[in-house]
Structure 1
């Protein structure tokens, strides 16, 4: 009798364990069951937004649920990135961010203040795009070459103005890397994002920007802007006649505006796996590919492990650049 009772208990335990495992599996398979929010920490019109929207549309087709872009702007992207870092880690709160994600923790350390967020607060899902910034000026500006620009800047320190996406944002860090290498002083005019910075240049309110090729090339082709150089280690295929700052002799000026897809760090591994698999398919979606081609932005897809390595190396490079810039109030 006693043996039979033990047998019944063991049998029930086994069924319960199988049921629990099945329930977990079903819960994992069910993701997602409702709309997903993707934070873009910059305004419409900038690189993150222009990449994020067609990517979200492609991801929607893979996940069979609405994927909604939410622009949460401010403080050079820090407002949106902080919001994403503390969002519920359930797979329904994600983010498309730029390389500037690596900057704010270094800035917080520089000023000795509590961290807005830490890099470990995010789980990288995939690298989507990577483009070197380009030095862009108005087509009617007096400078025909980088040498002209630098010579004039040395004659008129702090008079040549450039716009950026915000203090310590990608456009700010890139331009200060160049200024530091060239030994010049430029006047920094921060704005709310890449789109507003470009508009400031187009409107004649500033003299230059370090912009993403994808948002600059249409205006270069239209004859309203002129490009002087790029920040990459090689020339941009869409701008074959534009030299790199590196080949012009400037050191420590390699810089890329890359866009990456992230989740809060505590997001369950099975959900991250689903998102990684969906992303791998989404970047091959014909509509997304076409959108990036129209923007002349190369898709530079890397899955999470490779992206993590890339991100670590880039973050180290940016940390050095921010320390060179120092404190900016």
Structure 2
């Protein structure tokens, strides 16, 4: 009898020690399929962290992603950018959705595009709900630009041309349903004009098309074409900001033109849906440190981009709000 009690007691002690050890330094999250993902937080990250940009190199999202990768401190490991472009950002996004939720692969995406994708038919479900929000660091206004030698001097010139020539004004948009598409669609709808939307896989492609005279106008966010404005290659005709940007004092807002339209854009960091909360908390701290780094702040300011940090909970709440704003105008960007 004593041997049985001793053996039973020994087994209980072993079980308690095992559970205690697991709970002390391993983050876990139960996945949709009932499986559990464990991450050893004492050794996280385990090698290079990959940050997927679902657009071509050189665009606004790519620029912000590379800045974050440069300034983030992930315990002496590096963060690298992986540009996986195509289908309006859906290819790279879905790759991260399907990735192992171990915190080694993350996504930086246009928040506007991530939320609008469901309303445009790009995704069958709200893809941002298939991911886990980590943090958002920056925001910026958008607008419409033309090449320096364009015949269009003002937004009013664009509107007049489009009124007289329906569907002939070609507008380049970096991604179906992205921020640039929303900007140009709401502009066209508010102005009562019909235009021809020309989609590209990223800002770099649409900029090249504008510079080459293949499209009349490009829409997007300021960081995507600010350097080209400074170099005298492009001219910005209108801004989605609530007021004129300090760096672009000559560019009127849409509101000044009588178009009731204000939209500020964010780039957000996402992880696969079942990533443990401990990993999200760790990344939150590292990204907040980036947002407080003066060199990063100065770099963003040079791109007419405001550092405006949101943690995971605040970020998720903003996406819920943005979803409710986009839903009523989804038909404008879906072509229905």
- TM-score normalised according to structure 2 size: 0.88
Between the aligned partners of 2:251 and 2:139, the Cα distance in structure 1 is: 18
Partner of 2:316: 308
Distance 1:12 1:88 in 2: 30
Per-residue CA distance 1:277-298 (angstroms, 9 max, x = gap): 1111122234433432332322
Q: 1:282 to 1:155 in 2, by over 3 A?
A: same
> Following TM superposition, by how much is the alpha carbon of 1:15 offset from its aligned partner in structure 2, in angstroms?
3.4
Closer, same or farther: CA 90–140 of 1 in aligned 2, 3 Å? same
- Pick the aligned partner of 1:297 from 305, 310, 320: 305
| Structure 2 residue 326 is the aligned partner of structure 1 residue 318 | yes
Misfit runs of 4+, over 6 Å:
none
Once structures 1 and 2 are overlaid, which stretch shifts more, 133-142 or 73-82? Answer: 133-142
Q: 5+ unaligned residues in a row in structure 1: which ranges?
A: none
Q: Does 1:263 align with 2:271?
A: yes
Separation in 1 of the partners of 2:272 and 2:252? 39
User: Structure 2: which 5+ runs fail to align?
Assistant: 28-38
The alignment partner of 2:161 has SS state of helix
Contact 1:40 1:95 in 2 (8 A): yes
Q: What count of residue pairs does the alignment treat as equivalent? A: 322
Relative to structure 1, is the Cα distance of residues 273 and 13 closer, same or farther in structure 2, using a 3 angstrom cutoff? same
Alpha-carbon separation, structure 1, partners of 2:230 and 2:70: 28
Q: How far apart are 1:147 and its partner, in Å?
A: 1.8
- Work out the CA distance in 1 between the residues paired with 2:13 and 2:55: 56
- 8 Å CA contact retained: 2:145, 2:234: yes
Contact 2:114-2:127 within 8 A present in 1 as well: no
* 1:196-211 equivalent positions in 2, closer than 5 A: 196-211=205-220
1:76 and 2:110 matched = no
Taking the TM superposition and a 5 Å limit, the aligned residue runs for 1:90-239 are: 90-98=102-110, 99-108=112-121, 115=124, 118-239=127-248
Q: What is the correspondence of 1:12-31 to structure 2 with a 5 Å cutoff? A: 12-22=14-24, 24=26, 27-31=40-44
Per the TM alignment, residue 179 of structure 1 is displaced from its structure 2 partner at its CA by 0.2
Q: Give, in whole Å, the separation in 2 of the partners of 1:15 and 1:158.
A: 71
CA-based RMSD of the aligned residues comes to 2.3
- Helix, strand or coil at the partner of 2:40: helix
Deviation at 1:103, TM superposition (A): 1.8
Aligned residue in 1 for 2:54: 41
Question: Is the CA contact (8 Å cut-off) linking 2:140 and 2:304 kept in structure 1?
Answer: no
C-alpha distance in 2 between matches for 1:9 and 1:137: 74
SS class of match (1:282): helix
Change (3 A) 1:18 1:254: same
User: After alignment, is 238-247 or 192-201 more displaced?
Assistant: 238-247
**Whole-Å separation in 2 of the counterparts to 1:70 and 1:97:** 12
